[in-house]
A = this chain, B = another copy of it.
Amino acid sequence: MNPIKPKAVILLSGGLDSVTVLAKAKQQYDCFALSFSYGQRHDVELQAAKKIAALYQVSEHRILNIDLGQLGGSALTDMDIDVPESLEEGIPVTYVPARNTIFLSYALAWAEVLQAKDIFIGVNAVDYSGYPDCRPEYIDAFTQMANLATKSAVEGNKLSIHTPLISLSKAEIIKAGDELGVDYSMTVSCYSADQQAQACGRCDSCRLRRKGFADAGLSDPTQYSQSSGY
């Protein structure tokens, strides 16, 4: 921790994107990582987040238990909806209703308590364009709302939401992370990863990740399960 650096809250899922964001933020900020246990199908992603937070020596890593799964409506939290194995058109069923809005709201609350003026989130409008809460216009609207919402903002500490990956392709994200020395073998992207954090190789998230490494011309360190055929 460098006391000269300003504080920032980093949303850290344990996936490829968020570790890249943390690696970028770490260069200029005193990082406070925030993760959520929200009824995901598995907790290997959170285990990855813990290891990454430790590796990057964040000043604090909080994992909040939130009841998002209780509201239903997504294949990622609702066991009655199957995770699809093929890329869909339009907004995918793995979309979790208002997820980024809820995550950013908690980040906003913690930022205010920490007196931090910066929040980092690894949203991406290229590969995941089906998610409405990954678009720049959504982030801008959240920022405007946030700056009317809190005591801190009203008192003049305007908040910024940083989205360093928003316009990058998966291959560009991987290249950027590689240059920052990110060890992507620590990250979990698969929607259906098993308890050993082995990826299925078939879901949307696995396909985008594999394609990303291939397009970047880098070897893919992901551990795929034997049954995936990779």
Of the candidates B64, B98, B149, the one whose C-beta lies within 8 Å of that of A67 is B64
Of the candidates B112, B135, B153, the one whose C-beta lies within 8 Å of that of A148 is B135
Residues of B within 8 Å of A138, CB to CB, are 145, 148-149
Residues of B within 8 Å of A62, CB to CB, are 70-71
Residues of B within 8 Å of A101, CB to CB, are 105, 108-109, 145-146, 149
Residues of B within 8 Å of A142, CB to CB, are 145, 149
Residues of B within 8 Å of A68, CB to CB, are 109
Tell me the nearest residue of chain B to A74, going by C-beta: B113
The reply to whether A148 and B141 form a contact with Cβ atoms under 8 Å apart is yes
Q: Is the interface of A mostly helix, strand, loop or mixed?
A: helix
The docked-state distance in angstroms from the alpha carbon of A178 to that of B150 is: 33
Q: Is A133 an interface residue (CB 8 A)?
A: yes
- Chain A residues near B (Cβ < 8 Å): 62, 64-68, 70-73, 91, 95-102, 105-106, 108-110, 112-113, 132-133, 135, 137-138, 141-142, 144-146, 148-151, 153-154
A/B interface sample: 26 pairs, CB < 8 A: A62-B70, A62-B71, A64-B66, A64-B70, A65-B67, A71-B109, A73-B112, A73-B113, A97-B113, A97-B150, A98-B105, A98-B112, A98-B150, A99-B109, A101-B105, A101-B145, A102-B102, A102-B105, A102-B106, A105-B105, A132-B148, A132-B151, A133-B149, A137-B148, A141-B144, A145-B145
